[in-house]
Every structure is written in structure tokens, then in C-alpha cells.
């Protein structure tokens, strides 16, 4: 992560416009401008050319990494203390699960009408391992393919820290064991004393406002909570495009639980 670099590199990134800050409305913020406690300020690093290959197809994207200033400041303060005390061997302690979100720009959604947008919660088991206990991996791949095939282009906002709907990978592993005893995915979270869904999409809204603005866009989702959160954050020109894919014998029970919690999933979807 760039937080570990010499401060001179940070200044170079700012001067070359590869590093900027935005507020919750998506507007640029000066690095020297003070922010009030509780204000949302995001650091945005990019664009970085990123050739992609998913399910045998190739795509071209521009990648941006993004992290909240509140989290970044803590890491940079620790890094500076380690530099001053010559504690270089302790820099590994900075490899914490800081929520570094990503943006993938595909095509030219900034200058097109009604682009496609996918806000995707990270899922190691589905996105990386290809697990069929959920539909996350196929949803991500299908979103990239749909956006790349659409003349309007679009963007993927990949949300770190959303594993297991916000409970983290360790707790998610425990919920899988509970699901194997008969609980559904939401009941398993609650059995651990955790929220059924603790995700929030404020950062995603700010990033969409920064890149596209509050103008007509098509959101690839089946999740009413995501729609509600983004709308309340200032994106009130969203139209919804259903995004059901990756249905298998292994995840139909999981998808049925989602439907009971309000997701737009029909009988015909589950019969795929």
C-alpha cells in the first residue's frame, strides 16, 4: 500500500494527479484542508491501467484504490513513528485488514448516457476460490462482462470489509458451519450475536458521485438495502437492473433466504 512509501512519493503522486481526496458528495478536497471529526473523506489513488481476464474473456479497465482518510491517517502516523525509531522490521505490523476499496472504470461512463454500475461486496470464497455456496464470483464476472459489452460502459465499486455481509472472514467461516447444521445465512450471523447485514454503502455512493455524478444510471443489483442506502446518500436517479446469475444446486437454499429478506429473486431464477 502507498501508505508505507516515503512521503516524497506521496507528494509526487499528488502533483501528478494520481492521488486525490473527495468528500461524501464526490467533490475534490484539498489535502491541507482540515476536516471535522466524523466527516467522510476518501483518498483515491489512480487511474492504474488494469487488463482483466475472467472466465476466458479479456477486458481493459482503469483501476482506482480508495481508503478513508481516518483509517489512512492512523496507519501513516504509525509508519512515521516506525521510521523515526528505525523500527523497519516492524512494518509488517501495518499489514492489517484496512478497508481499501477499489473502483474499476470500463469504457467511458463519465461521458455516456445511463451507464451501468455494480457495487460489489468482496467475497474471498466466491470471488477468489470460486465457491458455489454463494453467487458472488459469477455476479462479479457477469457484471464486468455486461459493462464491457454495453456502449455506455460503467463502473464496478468493489467494497472491502464486506465479507459475510460485514462480519469478516473468520466469523463467516463459523456461519458456514452453522449453515451446515440447518440455519440459513442470516440466522447464522445472528446466532453469533452479529447483525444479519451490517454493510453500509456511504463510501460507494461518494465514489459514484465523484466519477459519474447524480445522473441517470443503471444499478446491477437484487438487494433493496443497497438501493435504499445509495438513494439516501444522494443518488436518486437510479434505475434497477436485475442481476441473478451463478445459480447452482449448492446455493439455492442461500438464494431462497435472500429472497425471504427482500432480494429480487423469483421462482424462475431459482429453477436455472
119 vs 105: CA distance, rounded Å: 12
Is the bond preceding 105 in cis, omega lying within 30 degrees of 0?
no
Catalytic, 197? Answer yes
Q: DSSP string spanning 57-107?
A: EEEEEEEEEEEEHHHHHHHHHHHHHHHHTT-GGGGGGG------EEEEEES
Which residue in 118, 199, 203, 229 is the catalytic one?
199
Q: Cβ(191)–Cβ(178) under 8 Å?
A: yes
Q: Could you tell me which residues are beta bridge partners of residue 218?
A: 116, 239
DSSP state of 128: I
Q: Mapping DSSP to helix (H, G, I), strand (E, B) and coil, where does residue 204 land?
A: helix
Catalytic, 10? Answer no
Q: Cβ(230)–Cβ(201) under 8 Å?
A: yes
Cell triple for residue 128? 477468489
CA distances from 126 to 55, 120, 180, 220, 221 (A): 14, 12, 17, 18, 17
Q: Cβ(102)–Cβ(158) under 8 Å?
A: yes
Q: Looking at the annotation, which residues are catalytic?
A: 197, 199
Amino acid at each position: 500500500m502507498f501508505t508505507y512509501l516515503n512521503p516524497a512519493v506521496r507528494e509526487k503522486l499528488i502533483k501528478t494527479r494520481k492521488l486525490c481526496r473527495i468528500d461524501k458528495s464526490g467533490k475534490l478536497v484539498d489535502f491541507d484542508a482540515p476536516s471535522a471529526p466524523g466527516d467522510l473523506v476518501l483518498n483515491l489513488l489512480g487511474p492504474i491501467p488494469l487488463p482483466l481476464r475472467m472466465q476466458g474473456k479479456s477486458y481493459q479497465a482503469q483501476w482506482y484504490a480508495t481508503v478513508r482518510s481516518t483509517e489512512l491517517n492512523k496507519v501513516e502516523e504509525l509508519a512515521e513513528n516506525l521510521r523515526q525509531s528505525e523500527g523497519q522490521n516492524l512494518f509488517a505490523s501495518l499489514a492489517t485488514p484496512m478497508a481499501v476499496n477499489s473502483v474499476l472504470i470500463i469504457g467511458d461512463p463519465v461521458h455516456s448516457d445511463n451507464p451501468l454500475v455494480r457495487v460489489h461486496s468482496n467475497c474471498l470464497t466466491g470471488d477468489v476460490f470460486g465457491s458455489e455456496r454463494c453467487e458472488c464470483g459469477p455476479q462479479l464476472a457477469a457484471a464486468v462482462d455486461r459493462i464491457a459489452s454495453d456502449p455506455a460502459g460503467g463502473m464496478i465499486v468493489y467494497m472491502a470489509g464486506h465479507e459475510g455481509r460485514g462480519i469478516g472472514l473468520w466469523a463467516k467461516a463459523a456461519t458456514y458451519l452453522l449453515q451446515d447444521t440447518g440455519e440459513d445465512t442470516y440466522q447464522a450471523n445472528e446466532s453469533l450475536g452479529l447483525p444479519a447485514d451490517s454493510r453500509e454503502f456511504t463510501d460507494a455512493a461518494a465514489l459514484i458521485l465523484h466519477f459519474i455524478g447524480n445522473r441517470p444510471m443503471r444499478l446491477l443489483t437484487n438487494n433493496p438495502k443497497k438501493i435504499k442506502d445509495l438513494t439516501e446518500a444522494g443518488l436518486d436517479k437510479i434505475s434497477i437492473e436485475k442481476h441473478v446469475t451463478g445459480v447452482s444446486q449448492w446455493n439455492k437454499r442461500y438464494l431462497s433466504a435472500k429472497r425471504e429478506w427482500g432480494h429480487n429473486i423469483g421462482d424462475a431464477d431459482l429453477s436455472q
